[in-house]
Structure 1
Amino acid sequence: MEKKRPYKPFRYKAKTTWSSARRGLLSAEDKPNIIVGSPPEFKGEPDIWAPEELLVGSVNTCMMLTFLSLAQARGLTPAKYESEAEGLLEHVEGKYRITEVTVRPHITLRGEAELERAREIMESAEAQCFISNSVRSQVKLMPEFVVPASPK
C-alpha cells in the first residue's frame, strides 16, 4: 500500500501602502508593484486596479492555471487558452460582497480526439481551483471548447 504524502502548507505575503486619496501600492518581495485603489463606483479612479478586479482576476487566473496543470499531467496541451471573468458585487444583508464570479474559458484544442479529455479536465479544474474554493462567492464555470476544422 502506497503511503500518502502529507500536504505542506504555504504562506503568501503582500503589503499595501497608502499613497494618496483612495489609492495605494500593493507589493510583495521580488514582484513588480501594483497601483491599487477604489473603483470609480466608490470614488476611485478608473485607471488603477481595484480589489474587486483583483479578486475576480485571482479566480480567473487560478482556474486557468489549475486547468493547465491538470492538462499537462494528462498529456494535453491546448493550442490556445483565453478566459474572461465577471464578478457580481451586490449589497446583501447590509454589506457589499462579491456574490458570484463567472469564468468563461475559451479553449482551442488541437483536434477532435482531445475534446472529451479537455471536458473532464475542466470539471476537475473547477473542483480543484483553490482560490474559488477559498471564497464564499458562487463560482460559475462556463467553458467553450473549439476544435479547428480538419483540412479536407
Structure 2
Amino acid sequence: MRGEHHYRVRTTWTGDRGTGTSGYRDYDRDVTVEIEGKPVLLASADKPFRGDPSRWNPEDLLLSALSECHLLSYLHACVTAGVVVVDYADDASGVMALDGSGGGAFREVVLRPRVTVADASMVEAASAAHAQAHAWCFIANSVNFPVRHDATIVVAG
C-alpha cells in the first residue's frame, strides 16, 4: 500500500490567567487537544516545567504513541505469522535528557511488552514478530532515537 495519510489536530492554550505571558510564572501551561469526532484531551507541560501533573504532557503522549504503535503493528505481525495473542501489556519507559539551554531530546525508549500466546508452539514466532512490528511501526520509524524492545512471551494457561 502506498500513498499519504493526513492528520489534523487543534491545540488550544487555555492557561491565560488574565495577563497572558507577562512573566514566566504568570500563566498556566494548560492546553486542550481536539480532533474532530474524538473526546477532548486535557494536556499541559510536565510538572518540572510548571505543568499540571494530572494532565497528559507531550512526553507522555510520545511514549504512548510509540507503545501503542508497536502493539498494533505487533498484533498484525502475529496474525500474519499465525500467532494467536490472547493478552498484551506494555510497561514502556523513556529517557529524555535536557541540554542546559532550555531544550532537550529523548535519548531512548524501551518497550517491555508482556505477550501471552495461545500455544507453546507459537512462542518462537511471537518473539520474532517484534522485529517485524518495529519495522512496520510508523511512529518508531519517525523518531531519531532508539526504540528498544525487552519482550516477554508466555503461554496461556
Spell out the pairing of 1:57-72 with structure 2 (5 A cutoff).
57-72=64-79
After superposition, the CA RMSD in angstroms is 1.5
Query: 3-state SS of the aligned residue for 1:35?
Result: strand
Q: Which runs of 4+ in 1 moved over 6 A?
A: none
Aligned equivalents of 2:108, 2:128: Cα separation in 1? 23
1:90 is aligned to 2:97 = yes
The code of the aligned residue for 1:101 comes to V
The aligned residue for residue 83 of structure 2 is: 76
Q: How many residues align?
A: 144
CA displacement at 1:93 relative to structure 2: 7.8
1 or 2, which has the higher strand percentage?
1
In structure 2, runs of 5+ residues without a counterpart are 16-27
The aligned residue for residue 131 of structure 1 is: 139
The aligned residue for residue 123 of structure 2 is: 115
CA displacement at 1:77 relative to structure 2: 2.2
Spell out the pairing of 1:3-14 with structure 2 (5 A cutoff).
7-14=2-9
Aligned equivalents of 1:99, 1:147: Cα separation in 2? 33
1:32 is aligned to 2:18 = no
1:19 is aligned to 2:14 = yes
Aligned equivalents of 1:148, 1:82: Cα separation in 2? 14
Query: 3-state SS of the aligned residue for 1:67?
Result: helix
Given that 2:86 and 2:156 are in contact with CA atoms closer than 8 Å, whether structure 1 keeps it comes out as no
> TM-score, normalized by length of structure 1?
0.89
